[in-house]
Each structure stands twice: as C-alpha cells, then as structure tokens.
Amino acid sequence: MNYWRRAWWLSLVIILAGTGGAWLVASERAGSSRHEEEHHDEHGDEQGHEDEHGHEDGGVRKTSISPEAAASAGVRTAEAGPASLVQTVGLTGTVQADPAGLAEVRPRYAGIVREVRASIGQRVRAGDVMAVVESNDSLQTFQVTAPIDGVVLSRNVQVGQVAANEPLFQLVDLSEVWIQLDVFGRNLARVRAGQEVAIETVDGQRVNGVIDWLSPLVAHGSQSIRARVIAQNPEGLLRPGQFVSARAVTDRYDVPLAVLHDALQTLDGDTVAFVRTGHTYEARPLELGRSDHERAEVLEGLRPGEEYVVANSYLIKADLEKSSAAHSH
C-alpha cells in the first residue's frame, strides 16, 4: 500500500471513529484480505494443488475416461507380470519342397494309354489310379497309381499315346516343406542347430520351427551358410519359391516384471506407461532394463498386478497433453 493511500485510510478512520468499532474491524479485515490477495498475486502459489479433475498444477499426469469411451476408442489394458524375454537374430530365406515329397509317375511296362484319370492341380492319395495302360507285350491292361499323397504338378500323357519310360505325371507333397535360411558370417557364431525359429512369409503367413541342420558348405555366390528348418504345412500355405523372414532364438531369460513395447510412450521427457485405476489413467514413469522385440523389463515404476494400457496408449497421451495445454492457460 503506497504512502498517500495509507494516509487517506488513516484520515477516514479518525473521522468515523465515533460511529463505533464494528465497521472499523470489518474494514481492517477487508484490508487484511486485500493485502493477502496482493501478496498472493505478487508471489504466486507456493505449492501446487489438484483441481476438480485431478490434474496436478504444473504438470498433468492423469486423466479420467469412462469405460464406454475407452472401449469405443479401442483402449485395452493388461495385468503387469513376469515374462520370458528372448534374444533373436534376423535371417532371410526361401521355401523349398522337401525332395522326399517329389515323385514322378511312370508306367511299369510300355504300352498304349487307354484312360487318364488325373489332371493338373488335383490332389491324390497314394494308391489312387491315375491312368490305365495296355501292355504292348501281353495286351493286358494295368493301372498306373500314385506312389505318394500329393498334388499333380504336371501331366504329360493323353489317351491313345504310347507310354514308355517317360514320366506321365509329377506329384508334390507340400504337407511338410523345407525353409532354407541364409546365415552370413557376422551371425555364424550365434546360429546353431536346435534353435527355435519364428518364420513369416511376405504375404503374412507365420509358422514356427527348429533349425535341424547347418550346411558345411558356403552357398555359391552368396557367401552364406544354409540353415534348414523343416516346417509343417498341412494347409499348403507355404509355397516353394516364397521369400521369408525369420527370427532365430539365440538366448532366453525370465524377468519378474515386463511390459509390452506398444504400451510405452514419451511424456515430458519420461518413458511412461499408463496405469488404470477405476476410471483414472495415470502416466507412470518407468525405469527399464533388458528388452526383446516385444517386451521390456521394468525395474521401477510399476508393481505386479497393476493394469496398464496395452492398446492405443497414444490416445491417453494425447488426452493428457491436451488437458495440460488447456490447464496451463
């Protein structure tokens, strides 16, 4: 309060002193209140406080979202707990037919083809009749049957044709295929027989297998070593010639607590996960340890059993940033 304002206030008090003390006391309280407000405005709040929405002054770290809104936005949570982390090495390769699954169908004796019962693309079983041939020597007919289960790849015969020693059909059984992976020098020390391998084709087909053999020879022209995985293919989704990518497991270790990488966001310079308690989502800073391509070990910031956001966590981050911007104004 400046000098002239203080002098005016004292004069007014003297003039009105005879009217009683109640007004004076009220005025003194009002002046005290104004002084406190001026002091508050000058120096600001010494401590932050939470507003009615639970946002902390100086840094919004949590927000409330109804279950309906969270479900509509695709926000999903999971319970934090232990996990098995794996170290892997990336490889590429191609799908090949198992040589044992290839067969050529030939007649036992030379003769005239009287019937053809199989066509390209047809699936046959071992023992199915594929053609009937009349022997040139005995003039008796005999059946030409499929030696294996498989699909007809090619047909080189017509009714009335002379069948000799040339193959009439070619069959392939793709219920089991080979996946040949290229292992280059920098990864040779990390790849060995017996390792688990997760394989994915360019069109998104996935299969798991085990490396059962490493070639002792360097592949011509590529300077790589071939690693073979025998993969089950009952539906025929893996086709010879397809390119694949693979991840061979080189190490595996268990950790007491881990979170999915998809759950992690950066907020105010911290790596955070969003922990749900009821309708409230809190940004929890984490200290992370080891990780693999899917999860990261949590050293501090989260407890086993707590629910954290694993899908669309970026929406929670965006809501917090929006609330923080509005709150700061």
C-alpha span between 266 and 56 (Å, rounded): 18
pLDDT for position 325: 64
pLDDT for position 148: 96
Please indicate whether residue 50 or residue 261 has the higher confidence score (pLDDT): 261
Digit-coded pLDDT (tens) for 9-20: 344 333 333 333
**Token pair for residue 265?**
């966001």
Residue 247: closest CA among 307, 183, 296, 303: 183
Question: Does the model's pTM come out above 0.85?
Answer: no
Lowest average pLDDT, out of 34-48, 109-123, 177-191, 217-231, goes to 34-48
Alpha-carbon dihedral 272, 273, 277, 282, rounded to 10 degrees: 30
Digit-coded pLDDT (tens) for 262-300: 999 998 899 999 999 999 999 999 999 999 889 999 999
pLDDT for position 203: 87
Which whole number is the average pLDDT over 146-174? Answer: 95
C-alpha span between 57 and 79 (Å, rounded): 30
Given a cut of 90, whether residue 131 has pLDDT beyond it is yes
DSSP lists the bridge partners of residue 146 as: none
Q: At what angle do helices 22-43 and 3-15 cross, to 10 degrees?
A: 160
Amino acid (one-letter) located at 319: D
Please indicate whether residue 43 or residue 116 has the higher confidence score (pLDDT): 116
With bands split at pLDDT 50, 70 and 90, how would you rate the model's confidence at 62? Answer: confident
pLDDT for position 18: 39
CB 118, CB 132: distance < 8 Å: no
Amino acid (one-letter) located at 321: E
Average pLDDT value for the chain? 83
Query: pLDDT above 90 covers what percent of the chain?
Result: 64
Please indicate whether residue 53 or residue 97 has the higher confidence score (pLDDT): 97
Given a cut of 90, whether residue 47 has pLDDT beyond it is no
pLDDT for position 204: 87
Digit-coded pLDDT (tens) for 193-223: 999 999 999 888 899 999 999 999 888 777 8
Given a cut of 50, whether residue 31 has pLDDT beyond it is no
DSSP lists the bridge partners of residue 214 as: 227
Residue 48: closest CA among 59, 61, 57: 57
CB 241, CB 174: distance < 8 Å: no
Residue 94: closest CA among 190, 202, 198: 202
Residue 75: closest CA among 293, 280, 251, 304: 280
pLDDT for position 324: 66
pLDDT for position 5: 45
Given a cut of 60, whether residue 8 has pLDDT beyond it is no
Lowest average pLDDT, out of 130-134, 216-220, 225-229, 258-262, goes to 216-220
With bands split at pLDDT 50, 70 and 90, how would you rate the model's confidence at 326? Answer: low
